[in-house]
Amino acid sequence: MKNFYLVAAIIGAIVPYATYFSYLEAVPGSSSALSLAWGNPIAAATLADFTISCLVFWPFLMAESRRLAIRHWWLLIVANIFIGLSFALPAFLYIRERRLANATA
């Protein structure tokens, strides 16, 4: 699973930005991205789901990081904000799996 989480984190870092930058190419100079995110019920539901998922992930991240003595866990919250949950969650799970494997070895 550890390698799966690593690959998922890499994909999760690339895909959202590739999608966003392709949008900027199609609509240059557009500053309406946030209004589009809430512009229809499907987009609003997706954004609400993502927001709730992030708010659930952060306390889990903090608790597991304390339990497993993972340092610099707060960088994953920063990554979650600036890159996305699609990167931060698998990156944390990768770090967590490595920590668990080292603890049993």
pLDDT, one tens digit per residue, over 29-58 is 656 666 776 778 888 898 899 999 999 999
pLDDT of residue 41: 86
Cα dihedral 26, 32, 34, 39 sign:
negative
| DSSP state for residue 53 in the 8-state scheme | H
pLDDT at 54: 96
CA atoms within 13 A on the CB side of 60: 11
pLDDT in tens, the chain (105 residues): 999 999 999 999 999 888 877 776 666 665 666 677 677 888 889 889 999 999 999 999 999 999 999 999 999 999 999 999 999 999 999 999 999 999 887
